[in-house]
Structure 1
Amino acid sequence: MAAADILLLDDDDAVRLVVAQALRRARHNVRTATCLAELDRELRAKVPDALVTDVVLPDGDGIEHATRIAAEHPDLPIVVLSARNTLTTAVRANEAGAYDYLPKPFDLDRLIRTVAAALARRRGTAPAPSEDADASLPLIGRSPAMQEVYRVIARVVSNDLTVLISGESGTGKELVARAIHDLGGRRHAPFLAINMAAIPRELIEAELFGHERGAFTGAAQRTAGRFEQAAGGTLFLDEIGDMPRDAQTRLLRVLQSGEYTTVGGTRAIRANVRIVAATNRDLQGAVADGQFREDLFYRLNVVPVSLPALRERRGDIAELARHFLDRAAETGLPRKTLDDSAVAALEAHDWPGNVRELENLMRRLAALSRDDRITAAEIRSPSGHTEHRADGDARPSLDDAVAAMIDHLSRVEPRALEDGTLHERLVAAVERPMIEAMLRRHGGNQLRAARAIGLNRNTLRKRLDVLGIDPNPTGSAAV
């Protein structure tokens, strides 16, 4: 490909330098800007072949600015870079007319490929941005696996393509379906969810398509089915892999023709719904076994979305856990926080129940934990349930917990591994839960707790003051 003129906007000197060098190595001419005002000056001087822009800038929002630029220069491909790696960012970039969105940190080779593809395929006029992009959407996570999910969602909200969401139980498949509905053009119409595994086999067609009076014994009046109830909106078919074969045939016919009839009816009704289906089964394996229709699978699998298991996105666990604690507090439960040892214990667990298991644990600890600050000891207690790991170990080992704590620090505060404070941080993280555990074990008796720990009583009292620990956690008198 011939050299192109690329305009790069980023206020971070290091990012701007590295990206500019990578683009130049790809034989592009690169101009740079550090703010929106500089960007406008460069655009007035010469419209580039492509624009690569950050979102958070000193003088404004890069995506909002990109919307105006896309309107003025509809043939200019825009690639958005952002450290705010949320679903809302991906959707806003898509609605602003961006060719693509890359979350930071990104792979430079991927950026080069994205720019090359953008240059090769000029896009049309950008759609108008939505006013409903909502940062409070329940999908949470900045891991690469979740970023890919966000990118797919962002690209399907503006159309009615059928989506098939796959993933283990508890990964949040219905949340993805709701996000697709809430961000799309059908958001003002109903969103109806139906669990195909929970409906008796003989009632599934009447449940989906409705029935006429007298269609079967007990049908005393006409009843609208889910297709009719969700008219104009989204119908979410959960556990689609458990749908009986005869009902699969009827659903396939509707997807092919766009029409259905009620049970006992003769008049064709136009189906005006978007279909989003979900499964925790291997549908391709079910097709091979003859349990699921191959033609229906391909009708549903137009846009596949694969949700990662929580153990595959451990970097998101702390953020998710704190979100669930905040949500528990909003429902009236006591507000709690997590200390570093608790985060390490959570990240060391394998979470067979995925995000649902984590949410349930956080609600239980919010209700039952005696202290405002949750420790690893409480997470591993009978009120928690991270004692049984998928690999059969009784509980995460101390080696695992320390390794997880170091890994956590490396992500949230990388300098902690270079500034000589790692030993102090790890000791402090262990000291608090150790003292609290010994106070509980000895009924608040500070003298006995001090002896067990190997401190004198005065030293223990000083540590209680420094760490802000309640010296009487059990309600008994301290001695």
Structure 2
Amino acid sequence: MTASGRILVVDDDAAIRTVVSEALRRKGHDVVTAASLGEMRGMLAKGLPDVLVTDVVLPDGDGLDMVPQILAEHPALPIIVLSARNTLSTAVRATEAGAFDYLPKPFDLDVLAQAVAGGLARARRVGATVAEAVDDTLPLIGRSPAMQGVYRVIARVVSNDLTVLVSGESGTGKELVARAIHDLGARRAAPFVALNMAAIPRELIEAELFGHERGAFTGAAARVAGKFEQAAGGTLFLDEIGDMPMDAQTRLLRVLQSGEFTTVGGSRTIRANVRIVAATNKDLAAQVTSGGFREDLFYRLNVVPIALPALRERRQDIALLARHFLDRAADDGLPHKRIDDSVVALLEAHSWPGNVRELENLMRRLAALSRDEWIGREEISAMLGRGVSGSPAPSAGIKAAVLARLAEIDSERAGALDDGTVYDRIIAEVERPLIVAMLERHGGNQLRAARAMGINRNTLRKRLDDLSIATSDARRPPRDVDPN
């Protein structure tokens, strides 16, 4: 049976005070209430409660501003913060202020009861308050319950160096989570270094991670520091960790166990002073079962798991995200565009297989190409490849693009569509960006790009020559802005 306690509930909404009080009394707690900071101070002066539950926005001030003052006088008092300002910034502010827990409104009464029980079960360990103020320009956007859970975990790990494993589909924002953990933590003044395992040839991964000495292998003309050294004092983000080859997994495990490593071809032991955040869009537990991933490494990485929801699982965030991306496009110099509720409904009905990245790309494309300030349903439908009715038509977007290009060719020269060259011309125009994009995706590795496209490497080489794709295009490094 959960131990009962004396709980002080502070909220200026009488209905919330009543509902919360009744729920906690049913759990056996003695509940007193206050409607303002002034009343709360009076209650605290009369006698210390076992747990304080307080709203942020109160008639006479900010409840979060009071948390450090209260803890300075009563460091063992667990304080649970409630807030309708349910952003990552609020969650982090609450944690940095020393709050025991943070719950976004609307909250589940059972979750609140569990938080109160946790506060009663153990004394709150007071942590140092981060002096630098946290602004609202944080990289993660969304107020859905699914994202609130993510914010709460991030807020709890920024003050320590625990290893974090971020999982989620491609495009959900895994690198943004890693950057938020770094930027809000004690290591934020040091480097944030990212390495995408899927974009590095398997034989070079160990050299990329740990560095190499001169002469360690053919082409190693000088000593090169690896990602562990480059990220010294900061955060090392290992993206697509599920694509890491087994021999490199073994070396990474040894580093995580010992905190030390040596360069490829070297003998000097180097101390690994980094925080590890890993990410995957695969089921690592299933890979462990199938023998594709080391079980001991999985447990070393999965100390704090963060599962990012797909965009279709947080549809209430779509309008906020879409408008945010339009605003950001305008900040980058594109025309400022707007969307109304009918367009939002169409966006919310889409399945978003590419998740947040797909939505961002769509908004930037619309900002660049839409003629009117207000984006219409027809434009959205055409770019999403769906009819206005919402019925699926996966190839509609490609069809519309081809028809538009045919119209351009026809306008350039009379009879151009009947001169026997249009097929080769359209295919080449589609094939070229496809090949360049796949080479970029695979870091210029022609073999991996060819395999991904399902063609022979020699065929790819021939198409590179036929389409006059420069060597620089073929060797372009992978993009690190991918929010995977």
Instruction: Bin the TM-score by the shorter chain.
Output: 0.7 to 0.9
Alpha-carbon separation, structure 1, partners of 2:364 and 2:135:
24
Residue identity matched to 2:300 = R
Q: Is residue 2:98 matched to residue 1:101?
A: no
Q: Is residue 2:392 matched to residue 1:393?
A: yes
User: Is the 2:165–2:306 Cα contact (8 Å) retained in structure 1?
Assistant: yes
Residue identity matched to 1:249 = T
Q: Is residue 2:171 matched to residue 1:170?
A: yes
Alpha-carbon separation, structure 2, partners of 1:312 and 1:112:
26
User: Is the 2:163–2:303 Cα contact (8 Å) retained in structure 1?
Assistant: yes
Q: Is residue 2:273 matched to residue 1:272?
A: yes
Residue identity matched to 1:54 = D
1:371 is aligned to 372
Residue identity matched to 1:75 = A
* RMSD of aligned alpha carbons: 1.6
The Cα shift of 1:350 comes to 0.5
Alpha-carbon separation, structure 2, partners of 1:192 and 1:21:
50
User: Is the 1:9–1:54 Cα contact (8 Å) retained in structure 2?
Assistant: yes
User: Is the 2:3–2:117 Cα contact (8 Å) retained in structure 1?
Assistant: no
1:26 is aligned to 27
Equivalent residue pairs, number: 392
Q: Is residue 2:234 matched to residue 1:241?
A: no
Alpha-carbon separation, structure 2, partners of 1:279 and 1:128:
32
User: Is the 2:102–2:152 Cα contact (8 Å) retained in structure 1?
Assistant: yes
The Cα shift of 1:26 comes to 2.0
Alpha-carbon separation, structure 1, partners of 2:7 and 2:291:
52
The Cα shift of 1:320 comes to 0.4
| Structure 2 SS opposite 1:355 | helix
The Cα shift of 1:392 comes to 8.0
Q: Is residue 2:67 matched to residue 1:66?
A: yes
1:40 is aligned to 41
1:207-226 superposed matches below 5 A: 207-226=208-227
Alpha-carbon separation, structure 1, partners of 2:190 and 2:102:
28
Alpha-carbon separation, structure 2, partners of 1:261 and 1:359:
41
The Cα shift of 1:386 comes to 4.8
User: Is the 1:10–1:57 Cα contact (8 Å) retained in structure 2?
Assistant: yes
1:196 is aligned to 197
- Name stretches of at least 5 consecutive residues in structure 2 with no aligned partner: 395-484
1:71-470 superposed matches below 5 A: 71-381=72-382, 384-387=383-386, 393-394=392-393
User: Is the 2:11–2:36 Cα contact (8 Å) retained in structure 1?
Assistant: yes
User: Is the 1:334–1:367 Cα contact (8 Å) retained in structure 2?
Assistant: yes
Residue identity matched to 1:189 = A
1:4 is aligned to 5
Alpha-carbon separation, structure 2, partners of 1:3 and 1:304:
31
Cα deviations by residue, 1:219-261 (Å, 9 ceiling, x for unpaired): 1111111100100000000000001111111111111110000
The Cα shift of 1:2 comes to 4.9
Larger RCO, structures 1/2 (Cα 8 Å, 6+ apart): 2
In structure 2, the CA distance between the partners of 1:267 and 1:314, relative to structure 1 (3 Å rule), is same
1:15 is aligned to 16
Q: TM-score, normalised by structure 2?
A: 0.79
The Cα shift of 1:388 comes to 8.5
Alpha-carbon separation, structure 2, partners of 1:232 and 1:376:
49
User: Is the 1:343–1:376 Cα contact (8 Å) retained in structure 2?
Assistant: no
The Cα shift of 1:25 comes to 2.1
User: Is the 1:254–1:271 Cα contact (8 Å) retained in structure 2?
Assistant: yes
The Cα shift of 1:14 comes to 1.5
User: Is the 1:20–1:30 Cα contact (8 Å) retained in structure 2?
Assistant: yes
Alpha-carbon separation, structure 2, partners of 1:315 and 1:73:
39
- What fraction of aligned residue pairs are identical, expressed as a percent? 73
Cα deviations by residue, 1:268-304 (Å, 9 ceiling, x for unpaired): 0000000000000111111111111111111111111
Residue identity matched to 1:15 = I
Alpha-carbon separation, structure 2, partners of 1:9 and 1:161:
33
| Structure 1 SS opposite 2:193 | strand
Alpha-carbon separation, structure 1, partners of 2:81 and 2:115:
11
| Structure 1 SS opposite 2:67 | helix
User: Is the 2:10–2:54 Cα contact (8 Å) retained in structure 1?
Assistant: yes
Alpha-carbon separation, structure 2, partners of 1:388 and 1:375:
13
Q: Which moved more, 1:162-171 or 1:283-292?
A: 283-292
Alpha-carbon separation, structure 1, partners of 2:391 and 2:178:
34
Alpha-carbon separation, structure 2, partners of 1:320 and 1:187:
26
The Cα shift of 1:125 comes to 2.4
Alpha-carbon separation, structure 1, partners of 2:131 and 2:290:
44
Residue identity matched to 2:24 = L
The Cα shift of 1:214 comes to 1.3
Q: TM-score, normalised by structure 1?
A: 0.80
Alpha-carbon separation, structure 2, partners of 1:202 and 1:110:
48
User: Is the 2:3–2:120 Cα contact (8 Å) retained in structure 1?
Assistant: no
Cα deviations by residue, 1:293-317 (Å, 9 ceiling, x for unpaired): 1111111111110000000000100
Alpha-carbon separation, structure 2, partners of 1:223 and 1:388:
54
| Structure 2 SS opposite 1:276 | strand
1:448 is aligned to none
Cα deviations by residue, 1:390-414 (Å, 9 ceiling, x for unpaired): x98338xxxxxxxxxxxxxxxxxxx
| Structure 1 SS opposite 2:138 | coil
2:413 is aligned to none
